[in-house]
Chains A and B, each alone.
Chain A
Amino acid sequence: NAGVMQNPRHLVRRRGQEARLRCSPMKGHSHVYWYRQLPEEGLKFMVYLQKENIIDESGMPKERFSAEFPKEGPSILRIQQVVRGDSAAYFCASSPDWNGETQYFGPGTRLLVL
């Protein structure tokens, strides 16, 4: 059973460009969480999705950030018009249900904004 997959592993963007981060959850998992880790900090929750639904986006910046988890295909975290402060590691995690089950993390995407 493959683990959580994220791609790309590293992404370099110039200010003003768009970044698209992909996450394929573990097989059988229908719940996806996105977290951001700024340098020298812990992980901060961004958004929680189920298939075709956003359950909780309380940690998402109000502008430029969006997330989706379509019926088919991976979950996408999209950052429009990136700024240098968006440089961070973005982690995706998945779980089989929401009732306190363990979240398993992907390897992360390191975004660098020049």
Chain B
Amino acid sequence: AQTVTQSQPEMSVQEAETVTLSCTYDTSENNYYLFWYKQPPSRQMILVIRQEAYKQQNATENRFSVNFQKAAKSFSLKISDSQLGDTAMYFCACPGSARQLTFGSGTQLTVLP
């Protein structure tokens, strides 16, 4: 069974600063993707970034990047130049054998003006 752990229930960051959200996971799959989703107050689930586990290069998407450490099963999200609109709950997710996603418990990020 897959497990996903997000050890930071809440974090805050000043606007324009950089913040890193941590995530560790465990899976028995060999080829898999990892995902970060954000859930703003509207509660819509929005894909932020994904990482292919067989790629060593860390994924980047504009201000968002990941630090993927496969051996350590660590998958952290870095947000650069934080903006007020980044305020949201962030979920790390790992797929299982049938590709159903297992989500972490989430990190509530607040960007302060």
> Does A69 reach chain B (CB closer than 8 Å)?
no
Q: Are B43 and A89 in contact (CB under 8 A)?
A: yes
How far does the Cβ of B38 sit from chain A's closest Cβ, in whole Å? 11
Decide: A42 near B100, CB < 8 A? Known: A89-B43, A100-B95, A102-B33.
no
Chain B nearest Cβ from A99, distance in angstroms: 8
Q: A104 vs B44: C-alpha distance in the bound complex, in angstroms?
A: 11
Q: How many residues of A contact B (CB 8 A)?
A: 28
Residues of A within 8 A of B (CB): 31, 33, 35, 41-45, 48, 55-56, 58-59, 89, 91, 93, 95, 98-105, 107-108, 110
Q: How many residues on B have C-beta within 8 angstroms of the other chain's C-beta atoms?
A: 25
Binds A, one of B14-22, B62-70, B75-83, B101-109: B101-109
- Chain A residues with CB under 8 Å of B35's CB are 102-103
A48 to B98, CA, bound (A): 8
Judging by beta carbons under 8 Å apart, are A104 and B103 in contact? no
A103 and B102 alpha carbons, distance in the complex (Å): 12
B91 within 8 A of A: yes
Partner pick for B44 among A43, A59, A100, A107, CB 8 A cutoff? A107
